[in-house]
Structure 1
């Protein structure tokens, strides 16, 4: 018995649902907005599904569609403060594992820093933290690999400066 396209899509979506949750957690504020964004990402993935080339990496394709949906969602938000409260989804970011207060504070700092980044740099940092290769990040974001390297270096420097300023406050 062969799978229908809908069944194949659903199986891949379930296998890679962590991508959707991480992106929704990074781009949306509050549980309701995260749920709305996750649903919007799933809709956009389904709409794009007929154009998916199985010869290519599904997760790379999924990241590209999901990040575009998240950036569109972010642009549609009228809120000035786009920070995401980490407490509501810390288990998602920490892989569900228990962690100590110092680690928790570092995650909160990282989340606050990510909220200061523009959509492209936020997406780049998210992929970098996922340990995606420079080539895969470039493919997902549609930029050159050398641009990825340069931007990662700049983001790391900004993060160091942000952390230093935060610890002095």
Structure 2
């Protein structure tokens, strides 16, 4: 895949990457770092994309794996000046109070539960979620029901 095609793919699916970044990081600077790390991992692994699945499915899988793997890495403290080339243009699209409340509630879930519910909220079928996460369709349904119940509990409590 050439660079222009890759950039077009990233532009078309940047919402997925942004949502994963926002779901797995609280701080806007950390969200931007994760966003960039996901794009880097996508570029590194583009040769593994066989186009036998949807681009969005492959992007979700890489993005979720990157977000989860970054929790295992030891965080190095780096001091730098804030660069204004941040996710501001994307953040403007989703700054409503309800969305912020939802993201806050989602961040209170276990990391693996965040992955499942984000795929569900994007409209992926149970079968597709199972393929991306490596769990059975039946277990996807069971987990999603538990996650929905937990989210209702979280949202009923003032977040």
- Please, what TM-score do these two structures have when normalized by structure 2? 0.80
* 1:113 to 2:110 alignment: no
Equivalent in 16, 35, 39 of residue 36 of structure 2? 39
> Match of 2:9?
12
* 1:28 to 2:20 alignment: no
Alignment size in residue pairs: 148
Equivalent in 125, 134, 137 of residue 133 of structure 1? 125
Confirm or deny: 8 A CA contact 1:27 1:70 kept in the other structure.
Answer: yes
Structure 2, unmatched stretches of 5+, are 76-86
Structure 1 CA distance, aligned partners of 2:2 and 2:36? 19
- Larger RCO of the pair (alpha carbons < 8 Å, separation 6+): 2
Map 1:148-163 → 2, pairs under 5 A = 148-163=140-155
Range moving further from structure 2, 43-52 or 6-15 = 6-15
Structure 2 CA distance, aligned partners of 1:160 and 1:98? 21
- Cα shift readout 1:7-54 (whole Å, capped 9, x = no counterpart): 222221121111111111111222211111111001110111111112
Structure 2 CA distance, aligned partners of 1:111 and 1:19? 14
RMSD between superposed Cα atoms in Å? 2.6
Range moving further from structure 2, 111-120 or 148-157 = 111-120
1:71 to 1:155, Cα distance in 2 relative to 1, 3 A: same
1:98 to partner: Cα distance: 8.1
1:13 to 1:145, Cα distance in 2 relative to 1, 3 A: same
Structure 1 CA distance, aligned partners of 2:94 and 2:109? 27
